[in-house]
Amino acid sequence: MTTISFFNGDIKKIMPDQRVIYYYADAQTTHTAYPDGLEVLQFPNNQIEKHYPDGTQEIVFPDHTVKCLYSDGFKETFFPDGTIVKVEKNGDKTVVFSNGQKEIHTVQFKRREYPDGTVKTVYCNGRQETKYSTGRIRIKDKEGNIILDKK
């Protein structure tokens, strides 16, 4: 192992397996570069970031939330309570809650889907549409006035 100590307190270690471990003293951050191209950063607040050679990044936050950023622009976040948020390159977002509910956000609408099959949609013009699992459909205008209530 080779160790280099810098004047500013930084330390660089070159390991026999070709890993390079660099400790930034001021930031109290460790950056480990692996021979296969993986880079891992460890911050003093226990946040850990992994940067893969293909451009993918994985960030583990101190609360155990995990965010994955993919090179194609897709993003996923996994929260400790089981909630998952997925964001497409175009900005469309899907939130899957641990209780089985699902939300979809697009430029055109926001929709919530319930485990019983009920679907509530709010469109960008303010119109609201609720389709119940029983087959009932209720549509409201942007002021909240019922336009249609078909049972």
Residue 31: partners with Cβ closer than 8 Å, 6 or more residues away: 21, 22, 23, 24, 39, 40, 41
**What residues contact 62, with CB distance under 8 A and at least 6 apart?**
45, 46, 47
Q: Which helix (H) or strand (E) holds 10?
A: none
Dihedral (C-alpha) 141, 145, 147, 151: value to the nearest 10 degrees?
120
Q: Which residue has the tokens 């993918």?
A: 56
116-142: pLDDT as tens digits? 999 999 999 999 999 999 999 999 999
Average pLDDT for 12-23? 97
Taking only the tens place, the pLDDT of each residue in 26-74 is 999 999 999 999 999 999 999 999 999 999 999 999 999 999 999 999 9
Residues 71-116 have pLDDT tens digits of 999 999 999 999 999 999 999 999 999 999 999 999 999 999 999 9
Note the pTM of the prediction, 2 decimals.
0.83
Decide if pLDDT at 150 tops 90. Answer: no
Instruction: Look at residues 66, 103, 59 and name the one whose alpha carbon lies nearest to residue 81.
Output: 66
